[in-house]
Chains A and B, each alone.
Chain A
Amino acid sequence: MTVSPAYPKVQTAPGQPAPRRRRLGRKLAPWLFLAPGALMFLVYVIIPIVESMWISFYQWDGMSAKVWVGISNYLELLDDDAFYTSLKNNIIWLVLYMLAIPFGLLIALFLNQSVRGIRLYKSLFFFPFVISQVVVGLIFSWFYAPGFGLFFELTKWLDGTGIALLANPNTVTYGIIAAGLWPQIAYCMILYLTGLNSVAPDQIEAARLDGAKGIKMLWYVVLPQLRPATFIALVVTVIGALRSFDLVSIMTSGGPFGSSRVLSYYMYEQALSEYGYRMGYGAAIAVVLFAIMMIFISGFIWKMWRDERGL
């Protein structure tokens, strides 16, 4: 490895040997700067990923000796109804969470004006993202609560009986996703507000002179310029949907009858909760979730890699 040609050589007086210490220092420097952070990341993130894959081939309660069971954890998954329920719910999460992107754009368009006090409005619309998902979960549990929740009362006023969203296995996941969309829409909104800020005004004016307006203008002129914002909104929304854990845990603990479980929650339940300490089986569930996420992560990284090369 040589010193990067991108930087000028250290200037030396004629006749003197190049200062070898400095060159060596420059070669070593990046590794010294990297070492502490990379080490921590290695120990707590990279190695555990490999270990989890390894543990998924064992039967293990977390304390006594591990027993090698080959792929039987994965075979058990194939026959596990709770696993399929979780997987199905993860897909519903993923699909419905995407709504955060158009809704975020819609609110951003609504707020992209310069009237008095608009900055405060923007901040307050962003509010749900700042608060913890635990608090969001509690807020929505209260909102949906049968007997007195605002949502319940509203539906009662409409249909006479009221809808107890979280008590019904057929609606519970949708109720939780709605709660999750609240902060996620706020996040997408702020991404688009930032994006809209930097849309080239001359292009808008030019298109306006050509008679473009409304939806057409949005689709052909504005959205292409918002592509970086859309990409990030997509990344954070996909990751957010697949990471969903907090809301399920707070609002229903996977119930009723396990109907609102998602893979992340089911894994936790198997590995660490009152249902027992099945670390190996839990690890196998985690590996499946990891594999699903890796499909998306690879796609994102591939795109970022291309952009980086293009620089």
Chain B
Amino acid sequence: MFPRPIQTMSPAARVTYQVALPVMLILWLLPLLGVAVTSLRPASDLAQGNYFGVPSRLAFGNYLEIFHNSPFASYMLNSFRVTIPTVIGAVALSCLTGYALAIYKFRGNLIIFFIFVAGNFVPFQILMVPVRDLTVKMGLYDTVTGLALFHVAFQTGFCTLFMRNFIKALPKELIEAARVEGVGEWQIFWHIVMPLVRPAIAALSVLVFTFIWNDYFWATVLTTGSDTQPITAGLQSLNGQWVAAWQLVSAGSILAALPPVAMFFLMQRHFIAGLTLGAVK
């Protein structure tokens, strides 16, 4: 293990480490903690310049206020309406493409694979004008469907990379044995491979959920109103309305961050396995 386990060091070093851990953590999360405290401050505190002191009382009302006086709930709902179908769509499509690229040897296999990988890295702006145009032409501009369709297509790139590598690492003998038995290609995919890729499906689901929930660029390009815009774009426009009402902006920020944070804590192992794919040989 590197660095040396702290247990093998002097008692002084051990105590220092135990103290340094929480101190570093608080420093690291200081901006976030500040916002969390601000979200619970009554407006009067901010008006009187009490930005850092103890809040005069805990104003949970800030959280209620953003629901009552703004389309916040609608934005949140839109985020779910975009994110959940995207997760299902992108993961389903990539199970198919990943299987095709991992199991079969055919000409162009590697090239197709690398087109998916490369496409996943391009700047969004090179897609912006044509994708917006296409969405308008399909009559899906400013709809949740139009936004989700694009996300499904784009995320398929990353998901294919992930799935293909995961399926490629499965034991080949299983599939070969099934072929010898005369099992059909679809049956092999559905009954043999699918049950084995469940961990990959879990990892991709949490990752794609987070990516799409946090997407801001496409939300502003493909949607406009509070009936369709997800929370990221909504929060930005609310920020414009709530000038200097930092307690509301803070409460909104905290709420907008909650779903991906909950996802992360619930499925931490899968989340990290997904993000660090390839970080270990």
| Range of interface residues on B (Cβ < 8 Å) | 35 or more
Which listed residue, B21, B112, B124, B217, touches A38 by the CB 8 Å rule? B112
- For window 84-141 of chain A, which residues contact chain B by CB distance below 8 Å? 107, 109-110, 112-115, 118, 121, 123-128, 130-135, 138-140
Asked whether A132 and B32 contact (CB < 8 A) given A45-B157, A290-B122, the answer is no
Question: Contact between B51 and A115 (Cβ–Cβ < 8 Å)?
Answer: no
Chain B interface mostly helix, strand, loop or mixed? helix
A57 near B: Cβ within 8 Å?
no
Q: How far is the CA of A139 from the CA of B93 in the complex (A)?
A: 36
Residue-by-residue, is B205-233 near A (CB-CB < 8 Å gives 1, otherwise 0)?
00000100110110011000000000010
Q: How far is the CA of A277 from the CA of B203 in the complex (A)?
A: 40
B36 to chain A: closest CB distance in Å? 10
* A107 proximity list for chain B (CB < 8 A): 28
Query: Which among A75-83, A158-166, A167-175, A264-272 touches the partner chain?
Result: A264-272
* B54 proximity list for chain A (CB < 8 A): none
Asked whether A132 and B130 contact (CB < 8 A) given A34-B96, A115-B6, the answer is no
Asked whether A297 and B100 contact (CB < 8 A) given A41-B156, A143-B31, A305-B114, the answer is no
B248 to chain A: closest CB distance in Å? 11
Question: Contact between B119 and A138 (Cβ–Cβ < 8 Å)?
Answer: no
Q: How far is the CA of A248 from the CA of B235 in the complex (A)?
A: 15
Q: How far is the CA of A153 from the CA of B94 in the complex (A)?
A: 49
A286 to chain B: closest CB distance in Å? 4
Which listed residue, A31, A33, A142, touches B246 by the CB 8 Å rule? A142
* A148 proximity list for chain B (CB < 8 A): 46, 49, 51
Question: Contact between A246 and B261 (Cβ–Cβ < 8 Å)?
Answer: no
B60 near A: Cβ within 8 Å?
no
Query: Which among B66-74, B194-202, B264-272 touches the partner chain?
Result: B264-272
Question: Contact between B279 and A228 (Cβ–Cβ < 8 Å)?
Answer: yes
B134 near A: Cβ within 8 Å?
yes
A210 near B: Cβ within 8 Å?
no
Asked whether A133 and B216 contact (CB < 8 A) given A41-B156, A125-B28, A143-B34, the answer is yes
Closest to B38 in A: A142
Question: Contact between B94 and A229 (Cβ–Cβ < 8 Å)?
Answer: no
| Range of interface residues on A (Cβ < 8 Å) | 35 or more
Q: How far is the CA of A15 from the CA of B100 in the complex (A)?
A: 32
A206 near B: Cβ within 8 Å?
no
Which listed residue, B6, B116, B189, B261, touches A131 by the CB 8 Å rule? B261
Asked whether A30 and B257 contact (CB < 8 A) given A131-B214, A190-B275, the answer is no
B225 to chain A: closest CB distance in Å? 16
* A279 proximity list for chain B (CB < 8 A): 129
Asked whether A242 and B123 contact (CB < 8 A) given A138-B253, A228-B278, A301-B114, the answer is yes
8 additional contacts, CB 8 Å, given A132-B232, A150-B30, A250-B239? A29-B185, A34-B97, A127-B261, A134-B214, A135-B235, A142-B249, A204-B1, A228-B279
* A to B CB contacts below 8 Å, 13 in the list: A4-B104, A31-B100, A37-B97, A43-B153, A51-B130, A113-B5, A121-B21, A125-B28, A138-B35, A148-B49, A198-B281, A218-B2, A279-B129
